[in-house]
Structure 1
Amino acid sequence: MNSRYFTEEHELFRKSFQEFLQKEVVPHIEKWEKTGTIDRFIWKKFGEMGYFGLNYPEQYGGLGLDIFYTVIFLEEMQKINSGGFAAAMWAHAYLAMTHVAKEGDEEIKQKYLTASIEGEKIGCLCITEPFGGSDVAGMKTTAIKKGDKYVINGSKTFITNGVYSDYLVVAAKTN
């Protein structure tokens, strides 16, 4: 092995993931691209195989692996010629889930992170606004604390996985 970063175990993972993608994903890409939807079964298969939990803690069902497994995951997803599919999986695993893992309290992690790793729940990150794009400094959406809850006022658009999501991670300005 002549890689500075990837070990033999990494390369075995790469080969296994390539085979999984060819068998379970590639045969459906044309249909998913035409319909603009991704069947729910594939999210669950990704979860069953551990692909959504590569770098997340074992206590939530993750595998706790190093960052190079994630690099391989992202590299191989790009090779199947479906930017939409790759973006959907990436947005779930590395946008929505990252925020749940880093900012969620224990109850949120148990409810959403574990189910996301399993592929049972799909998440999205809501940043883009109709007139401001993804400029978080100019974001108009607000979250005002009322008692033990927040009241969110604003709108988001062009949200990857928005149509599939079981939960939303919403970017908003707070008081």
Structure 2
Amino acid sequence: MSLFPPFTTEHELFRQSVRTFAEREIGPYGEQWDADRYFPDDLFRKAGQQGYFGLRFGEQYGGLGLDYWYVGIMIEELMRGRNVGAIVGLLIQCEMATSVIHKFGSEALKREFLVPAIRGERIAALGIS
């Protein structure tokens, strides 16, 4: 049983999954990425394979259709990776850039851009002026 009532066993399993991902895929490499001025594009593919970019999106787009608690868990646990650039990049993919495509994009645009972004095959971006 969870100590915090909104969380279920599934939430806690997801928490452990993201924690392990952050500690294995980000933590050991973050300082070197910064020193090399390197951005780990392959991290997006790995996160997409775990389903991390489709938390709130429906199955028709390759998402999982989960609640916002999963997003909060993901934010909290990714921070264990200790590399702000990589973590913010993943979170923008998860919530900001893909959400705009989901909300405002036509079905054709969703198929062309949202679906591969959820899978981690494309990196979504958001331009703000």
**Structure 2 residues not aligned, in runs of 5+:** none
State how far apart, in whole Å, the 1-side matches of 2:92 and 2:21 are: 20
Instruction: State the Cα distance separating 1:43 from its structure 2 match.
Output: 0.8
State how far apart, in whole Å, the 1-side matches of 2:120 and 2:97 are: 13
Instruction: State the Cα distance separating 1:122 from its structure 2 match.
Output: 0.5
Q: If the length of structure 2 is used for normalisation, what is the TM-score?
A: 0.92
Q: Secondary structure at the match of 1:62?
A: coil
**Structure 1 residues not aligned, in runs of 5+:** 129-175
How many percent identity over aligned positions? 37
Aligned-partner residue type, residue 52 of structure 2: Y
1:56 aligns with 2:57: yes
Q: If the length of structure 1 is used for normalisation, what is the TM-score?
A: 0.69
State how far apart, in whole Å, the 2-side matches of 1:36 and 1:5 are: 40
Aligned-partner residue type, residue 111 of structure 2: Q
Q: How many residues align?
A: 128
The answer (yes or no) to whether the contact 2:93–2:123 under 8 Å persists in 1 is: yes
1:156 aligns with none
Aligned-partner residue type, residue 95 of structure 1: M
Residues 30-49 of structure 1 show CA distances to partners (whole Å, capped at 9, x for unaligned) of: 12222333222211010111
1:122 aligns with 2:123: yes
Aligned-partner residue type, residue 72 of structure 1: I
Higher-Rg structure is 1
Aligned-partner residue type, residue 19 of structure 2: Q
State how far apart, in whole Å, the 1-side matches of 2:23 and 2:113 are: 29
1:82 aligns with 83
Residues 80-128 of structure 1 show CA distances to partners (whole Å, capped at 9, x for unaligned) of: 2221111111122211100000000000000000000010111111114
Aligned-partner residue type, residue 21 of structure 2: F
Aligned-partner residue type, residue 88 of structure 2: A
Of Structure 1 and Structure 2, which has the larger fraction of its residues in helix? Answer: 2
State how far apart, in whole Å, the 2-side matches of 1:24 and 1:81 are: 11
Q: Secondary structure at the match of 1:3?
A: coil
Point out 4+ residue stretches in structure 1 off by more than 6 angstroms. Answer: none
State how far apart, in whole Å, the 2-side matches of 1:19 and 1:40 are: 19
2:15 aligns with 14
The answer (yes or no) to whether the contact 2:40–2:86 under 8 Å persists in 1 is: no
Q: For structure 1, which segment, 13-22 or 34-43, has the greater mean C-alpha deviation from structure 2 after superposition?
A: 34-43
Instruction: State the Cα distance separating 1:79 from its structure 2 match.
Output: 2.6
